[in-house]
Amino acid sequence: MAVYTQVSAEALGAFLARYDVGALVSAKGIAEGVENSNYLVDTTRGRFILTLYEKRVDAGDLPFFFAMIDRLADAGNPVPRALPDRTGMVIQTLEGRPACLIEFLSGVSLSQPTPTQARAGGAAMARMHAALTDFAPVRPNSMGVGAWPQLFEQCAPGLDSIQAGLRERVDGALDRTLAAWPHQLPTGAIHADLFPDNVLMLGDEVTGLIDFYFACTDVRAYDLAVMHSAWSFDGRGVPLDPAVGRALLEGYEAGFGLSPEERAALPVLAQGACIRFLLTRAWDWINTPADALVTRKDPLAYLRRLDWYENNRNAFR
Ligand SMILES: Nc1ncnc2c1ncn2[C@@H]1O[C@H](COP(=O)(O)OP(=O)(O)OP(=O)(O)O)[C@@H](O)[C@H]1O
Ligand SMILES: N[C@@H](CCO)C(=O)O
């Protein structure tokens, strides 16, 4: 469960008193997620999400994330704005952590999307990219291709403890991916983590895009590759019906378009996505005690995806 920081009722009451949101009725820690502490907060005026930013989120990046969310919301995308307090302040400090009160969006995240739902997900990413084409703020991708060699070096000593031979396997894949990386593709503001658990849906309709805390400026088609790697497999990394991945691409292509160069690059972009999530999960696996309250995500589920993309290079044709 992802509640790293406990918030006392007194501190939460004082925090909410800064806003025009009514009085505290209840607050429950949210089990999902691994990065930040999230609470579902009910007040006499409505329901909100309280997020306290933990290890990987730099508070200095929050203005970029919220500017991006505001732009998306203004364009009609279903994204949760961070609420200002009565003095206009959005980023607060609570229990010693940077913290924000966020709009609550309805919907549930899927564990096994159907092709129809995947098409809707791809279309939602297309609308997001369209709304961001002239978004000026820039944030380099701290988890992007330039960061992977160092991330690999940090994880390398522990990789074989996860699975024998993993260090050499990832080392080789990283070398090949870096050599083939398409640096010339169009860039823009991207979400960079649009997993099914960051898309809220009701039936076949997307009702929320959440968790913009890895958003950055990077190759736009990489965003789609990350999404493909997350949506086309089950939680263990076993491929779903290939129609799911195809529908995702169709939804995106119909909404935003995909150039021949971007489509041709998808295999290497997807392999890069696998390396990114394999390594960050491996880092957490190695550095989180097995009995910690947070549920560690399996790095090997991303090794299986990497194997699949390497063995199915025609998957995007
Ligand atoms: N604005 C929102 N409206 C409704 N529910 C939300 C909202 N934001 C977060 N949630 C709920 O809280 C959960 C965790 O949120 P989030 O994915 O942002 O956490 P995280 O720790 O950053 O996760 P991750 O491991 O995906 O990076 C979500 O799965 C969702 O159930
Ligand atoms: N979505 C990521 C967690 C955030 O980096 C994962 O499933 O590994």
Amino acid at 218: D
CATH class of 9-103: alpha beta
What is the predicted pLDDT for the residue at 290? 66
pLDDT higher than threshold 90 for residue 1? no
For residue range 274-309, what is the model confidence (pLDDT) as tens digits? 999 999 999 999 998 666 667 789 999 999 999 999
pLDDT for position 141: 97
| Domain residue ranges in the chain | 9-103, 115-311
Alpha helices in the chain (DSSP H): 9-16, 62-74, 115-131, 148-162, 166-180, 220-231, 242-255, 260-287, 300-311
Q: Is 32 exposed, middle or buried (0-12, 13-18, 19+ CB in 10 A)?
A: exposed
Rounded CA gap, 40 and 210, in Å?
Answer: 14
Using the structure block, give the residue that is written with the tokens 């491929």: 239
Residues 6+ apart with CB under 8 A from 189: 68, 132, 135, 137, 139, 215, 216, 217
In this predicted structure, the answer to whether residue 2 has a pLDDT above a threshold of 80 is no
pLDDT digits (tens, 9 = 90+) for 97-127: 999 999 999 999 998 999 999 999 999 999 9
CA angle 55, 107, 190 (to 5 degrees): 50
Q: Which pLDDT score, from 0 to 100, does residue 56 have?
A: 81
pLDDT exceeds cutoff 70 at 312: yes
pLDDT at 35: 82
Q: Tell the burial category of 42 from Cβ atoms under 10 Å away from its Cβ (0-12, 13-18, 19+).
A: middle
Portion of the chain with pLDDT greater than 70, in percent: 98
The answer to whether residue 66 scores a pLDDT higher than 80 is yes
Closest ligand 2 atom, residue 214 Cα: 5
- What would the pLDDT profile of 35-58 be if each residue is shown by its tens digit? 899 999 999 999 999 999 987 899
Alpha-carbon dihedral of residues 195, 287, 5, 236, nearest 10 degrees? 30
Treating both helix axes as pointing N-terminal to C-terminal, what angle do 115-131 and 242-255 enclose, rounded to 10 degrees? 30
Mutation probe of ligand 2 site: the residue of 148, 194, 195 with most atoms within 8 A of C-beta: 195
For a ligand 1 pocket test, name from 210, 294, 297 the mutation site with the most ligand atoms within 8 angstroms of its C-beta: 210
Tell me what percent of the residues of the chain surpass a pLDDT of 90: 91
- With tokens 């560690």, the residue in question is 296
Mean pLDDT of the chain: 95
Q: ipTM greater than 0.90, yes or no? A: yes
Q: Which are the contacts of 276, defined by CB distance < 8 A and separation ≥ 6?
A: 143, 144, 148, 151, 226
Mean pLDDT of 56-77: 96
- pLDDT attached to residue 267: 97
Q: Which ligand is nearest to the CA of 78?
A: 1
Q: Report, at the CATH architecture level, how domain 115-311 is classified.
A: Alpha-Beta Complex (3.90)
* Residue 277 burial (C-beta neighbours within 10 Å; 0-12, 13-18, 19+): buried
- Alpha-carbon distance of 129 to 134, in angstroms, equals 10
Q: Would you state the pLDDT for residue 245?
A: 97
Q: Which atom of ligand 1 is nearest to the CA of 35?
A: 21
Instruction: Tell which atom from ligand 1 comes closest to the C-alpha of 106.
Output: 4
Ligand nearest to the CA of 295: 1
pLDDT at 293: 64
Strands 46-52 and 187-190: unpaired
* pLDDT tier for residue 315 given thresholds of 50, 70 and 90: confident
CA 243–ligand 2 middle distance (angstroms): 23
Per-residue pLDDT of 148-162, as tens digits, reads 999 999 999 999 999
d(CA 155, CA 287): 10
